[in-house]
Structure 1
Amino acid sequence: MSAMPSLPVLGEQNFRQLQQLMQDASGIHLSSNKRSLVAGRLLKRLRHFDLDSYDDYLNRLTHPQYARERRLVVDLLTTNETYFFREFAHFEFLGQWLKGRGGPLRLWSAACSSGEEPYSLAMTAAEHTRGNEWSILASDLSLSMLSLAEQGIYDIAQARYFPDGWLHRHCLCGVEDMEGRMRVQGWLRAKVQLREINVVQPLPESIGQFDVIFLRNLLIYFDSEQKQRIVRNLSEKLRPGGLLFIGHAESIHGFNLPLRPVRPSVFERL
């Protein structure tokens, strides 16, 4: 029997090249303990090009005609698991905060991935606000994730996280070749504006001010100085009394910011 072919190895030098690529493209620092994860996610790209080593792949990325492939690398290395109503306590608190409020209200999902978070925000706003004067900005660094969010189509298994009755009020369930899938109602999708924004860079003035900003499970990628700069920039986009939500596993303790804690991982703009 022939031996199984060995997998290519992502060496230290190649990993440093990828760290620099990610730093330049997104401001994200890949820690050394992510090397095996990075190797696994990029292995499919080596196979796509029929390459034997990460060195060959990285040499290819240096050529101008592979600018799109470099962008794909950033997508592959920044995409994380997401699902509707993740960290449900946040949405419960937001619903209470929104209850009975009139508009206009603006909410921002600042790392929206494939759209589950902003559509969860949209459903929460639809259920709890008075009237229909609210809107949501959903932004991400990844164009491929924004494309998925625009479609608004998801596996029906995600409905298990929905509060009772929300699936039928806010989504269409697929039939025939779409069986097992669901799609967010068109009027809700229309309330969500999708936009490519890198929160590491200066924020566009045109995005305006917000009443609520979700910045969850993104700060873990950055060092303390970058975290403080990102949160400061976003807090400047919050109206006084507005809310900032970060991930439960994240912390902004010790940052000198115009925010006060109101719940675990929830802060009010002073």
Structure 2
Amino acid sequence: MSISPASVPQPEELPPAQSSGISFRIFLVVVAALVIGLGGLLYYVVQLENRFEQTQNSLESNLRAQGEVLERLSQRLEQAEGRDAELRGEVTVAKNRLGLTQTELQKARQITLQLAEQQKQADEQIATRLGQLQQEQVATKGALGGLSTDVVGVKGEVKTTKVELEKTQSELKRVIGDLGVQSDLVAHNRAELEQLRLRGERDYLEFDLRKSSKRQRIGPVQLELRKTDVKRQKYTLNLVADDRTIEKKDKTVFEPVQFYLEGYGQPTEVVVNKIDKDRIVGYISVPKAKETREPMKSS
């Protein structure tokens, strides 16, 4: 099948006026785009100029600062060189003045070595002595430790003795004797009697008297046991003093039996602290100092 030229569509032709309007609008768009592009390019160029100017100013400031630093460093270097020259001159002058020679330097080194050796020996001696002192200190500490232990033990014993002494003193009592005279402290046992001896105020003579035909001398007196009453805890005895015999009848345990010896102002006392069958045990308390003589009394 063939196509005839008459059947092919032909482009429509626009009127002249309409074609001119389209071309003008395109022109305006192109001009506007060029204006905008030129404006942006101009702004970018201005910004580049500003940045370049700022960078240039900063570089100039840095260069000026570096120049000042270099100037100061140069001045200091010149001063240092001058000072170095002065020091070199002073060293030269000092060497010339001291006149140090190689021999003198060698001698000085030898002296230094000798001093160092002597110092080393002294240090070794000091270290040895310190070791000995430390050993002695350890031994001394050990001895002090043992001594401290002993002291603690002694303190404990002293404390115990003190407690016992206070207890004994609290148990000792003064009573009225058979003559109506205030008696010395009365001991109820051997411990209390020892405490009375320690006071040193009177002499104490112990006795163990049994019933017999013979009298027993106890210090300045003679005692003769006549009888005992174990149930009632009483006894009767004769005592002989200053050639006189005095009977002490029905006396009780711990009762001070008093009598006066010639030349003594205080009474001598007999105290019995134990009564058995035909036997009494006790002590005699005699004043130490003689005073104005008083007549012998009896009860």
Alignment TM class, shorter chain as reference = under 0.3
**Under a length normalisation based on structure 1, what TM-score does the superposition of the two structures give?**
0.21
Specify which structure has the bigger relative contact order, considering alpha-carbon pairs within 8 angstroms and separated by 6 or more residues.
1
**Under a length normalisation based on structure 2, what TM-score does the superposition of the two structures give?**
0.20
Greater Cα radius of gyration, structure 1 or 2: 2
